[in-house]
Amino acid sequence: MVREYILQGLGCANCAAKIESAVKARDGVNSASVNFATATLRIDFADAHRGDFAGMIKDIVHEYEPDVAVVDKNRPQDRVAHAGKKSQIIVMIAGAAVFGAGILLKQLSDANSHLQLAVFLAAYLMLGGKVLRKAAKNILRGRILDENFLMSLATVGAFAIGEYPEAAAVMLFYRIGEHFQESALRRSKKSIADLMDLRPDFANLKTNGEIAKVAPETVKIGDVIVIKPGEKIPLDGIVAEGESMLDTMALTGESALRRVSVLDTVLSGCINQNGLLAVEVTKTFGESTAAKIIGLVEGAAGKKAPAENFITKFSKYYTPAVAALAVLIAMLPPLAFGGVWGEWLGRGLVFLVISCPCALVISIPLGFFGGIGAASKKGILVKGGNYLEALNRLETVVFDKTGTLTKGVFEVTKLVPADGFSDFALLETAAKAETFSTHPIASSVMKAYGKQPDRQRISGYTEISGQGVGVVAEGKKILAGNETLMRLENIEFLESGELGTKIYVAVDGIFAGCIVISDEIKEDSREAIGKLKAKGINKTAMLTGDNAQIAEATAKMLNLDEVHSGLLPDQKVEKLEMLIAQKTSKGKLAFVGDGINDAPVLARADVGIAMGALGSDAAIEAADVVLMTDEPSKLAEAIDIAKFTRRIVWQNIVFALGVKGAFLLLGALGAANMWEAVFADVGVSLLAVLNSMRAMRAK
């Protein structure tokens, strides 16, 4: 049982990580993840859990973030009004003014020291009241060593040793830095939301000749909606009236328009360009393509990359260790070597201010989420940071053939009848055999025949896995399939040397002839293979159920390194296992298929990639990465985005740890004061967040 909650007002990434860990530790919870970018908590409860879901979640959240409101995602009307940012800015400006007055008093040599203390204390309380309150609440709950506690302890200590201006200045610069950091986070979240701006605002519901503007969630299957020019299609459906051009860029990343008319399928998230369309709804809002894509991208935060898991574990040990060092710096030298207490206490307090790992905890998830958002804008759905990270380590890419490297559009290109059979008789016999089959090859035979055989006169339809089909028509047993089927049935036949898929037909054990069907290679398949090799992919291979002649010819045309043909689904898994065994221990293997017929292979690969899955529920569910168009070259784009995202994430890790380490050393040596310590904390966080936003502009 999956539940989702909006954590309204969540602004602390470190607290978000702690909330996630606390929820995971509760009985009855299978898994939990906090998506900091969308302030959403997703929980998978055990089926046997029957407790107060909302109450439990509120208790946990309020332990770490007392001011955060917990709202059930299915009940957005329960959102509460939060105090606006305007009032906080006013308090910050007023506090800064009082702080400025204190600095002026300090410049006057005859200024009363008690008056200075009063002014700086007033500025401190105005600027740091929120921090002090949070620290006090957390202490009462037994939660220490968070940013609020460390900041409060450091500044109270500064007052204790007579450093009034520095204590107030720390709170001032902390508030300024926090304001800019929150602004950057809001812009980052908005940019990510814009990349996934598929959610419709309304639907024009047509009832009894009237058109009413309603919420998309209220529309039912079978209802008719009207989409005007310039409007976003709110729900999946079939065109009942009208024709138009659709902009599918939000789904596929492609700028080319798509023409639709009566009986064509339209998907939510596309934009109607010119004509007026009446659409019969085929899926509810929750099951629509737009809702599924939004859900996939938002849910991707639950599948974290190794770098994200590293930082979560690192921060658990880092902050307590640094706090312990701060105590040692403050107390050990005076006790052991007779140092000045005030001087070493000041150094320890500076150490405390620097210690919070917020820069890493905020920026790394935002970096991965930005990369996932940028990929979705290009029609590439990545289901988690772990899969985005895995794309960086691909060594082997294995392709299915039909529908992946080729168009999957089969046409009868040649009829080779046996003695005693005409072209028409051969085609008619094959059509009878294939009339109940849904395979694309069967469809090509039916298309060439041009009409539907009388099904009332056909019985005993049998599908022989990987070999062909059999029926009984007018008392005669008809077989249509590959050469393996002919040999198994002991039918003497003339094997064709034509290039293409061959259907051998037999009637009552007598060979009737061969039908040749061809499939065309996609325009960008060769380009895709070339790009992958240029990006360092060691091996490209193809697994197909097609015969060796066609498979070898296709592989040669595309410059593939390896090809395995004539494979049944279970044999594809065996070959994939063999290829997995050949790669290095750290390398990854991706399988690219259609997401429906290749589900076992997709599941076994390190990264399963569904090709051409626009609107296909099965493909979206089966794969780790979904390429929403029929272009294999999208995989190369996905690798580029993954590499760009990883570069940004590691820039943040190295930058944050480098600056923190340098300032910790300077603080211990007495060469950094509290003002500089605030930059090392808030300033580094701000710069890391701004750098993470670049991931959303990945090309």
- Fold classification of 407-520 (topology level): Calcium-transporting ATPase, cytoplasmic domain N (3.40.1110)
Residue 42, strand partner residues: 4, 33
Q: What is the pLDDT of residue 368?
A: 83
Residue 8, strand partner residues: 69
Candidate CATH numbers 3.65.10.10, 3.30.70.100, 3.20.20.70, 2.40.50.100; the one for domain 2-78: 3.30.70.100
pTM assigned to the model: 0.72
Distance CA 529, CA 381 (A): 21
Q: What is the pLDDT of residue 303?
A: 66
pLDDT (mean) for 196-215 = 84
Identify which has the larger pLDDT, 157 or 639.
Answer: 639
Dihedral sign, Cα of residue 120, residue 125, residue 130, residue 134: positive
Identify which has the larger pLDDT, 419 or 378.
Answer: 419
Read out DSSP for 84-135? PHHHHHHHHHHHHHHHHHHHHHHHSTT--HHHHHHHHHHHHHHHHHHHHHHH
Tell me the domain boundaries of the chain: 2-78, 85-192+300-367+645-697, 203-295, 380-405+522-628, 407-520
The tokens describing 465, both together, are 């896995």
How crowded is the C-beta side of 47, counted as CA atoms within 13 Å? 0
pLDDT (mean) for 242-270 = 85
| Residue 588 CB coordination number (10 Å) | 20
Query: Is residue 135 within 8 Å of residue 171, measured between CB atoms?
Result: no
Cα–Cα nearest to 602, from 589, 615, 617? 589
| Winning range, highest mean pLDDT, from 6-20, 63-77, 481-495 | 481-495
The tokens describing 361, both together, are 């905890």
pLDDT (mean) for 450-469 = 89
Report helix, strand or coil for 167: helix
What is the largest distance, in Å, between two alpha-carbon atoms of the chain?
122
Lowest mean pLDDT among 53-62, 526-535, 563-572, 669-678: 669-678
Query: Is residue 46 within 8 Å of residue 29, measured between CB atoms?
Result: yes
Express each pLDDT in 669-696 by its tens digit: 888 777 777 777 777 877 887 888 788 7
Distance CA 233, CA 632 (A): 27
Q: Phi then psi for 382, rounded to 5 degrees?
A: -110, 125
Q: What is the pLDDT of residue 197?
A: 63
Q: In the predicted model, is pLDDT for residue 347 greater than 90?
A: no
Q: What is the pLDDT of residue 181?
A: 65
Q: In the predicted model, is pLDDT for residue 588 greater than 80?
A: yes
Which residues make Cβ contacts (< 8 Å) with residue 659, sequence separation at least 6?
680, 684
Lowest mean pLDDT among 341-355, 437-451, 465-479, 533-547: 341-355
Candidate CATH numbers 3.20.20.70, 3.40.50.620, 3.40.640.10, 3.40.50.1000; the one for domain 380-405+522-628: 3.40.50.1000
Which amino acid is it at 340?
A: V
| Residue 484 CB coordination number (10 Å) | 15
Query: Is residue 389 within 8 Å of residue 305, measured between CB atoms?
Result: yes
Distance CA 542, CA 530 (A): 15
Q: Classify domain 203-295 by CATH number.
A: 2.70.150.10
Which amino acid is it at 333?
A: P
The tokens describing 555, both together, are 């592989």
Query: Is residue 678 within 8 Å of residue 400, measured between CB atoms?
Result: no
Active site residues: 400
Average pLDDT along the chain = 83
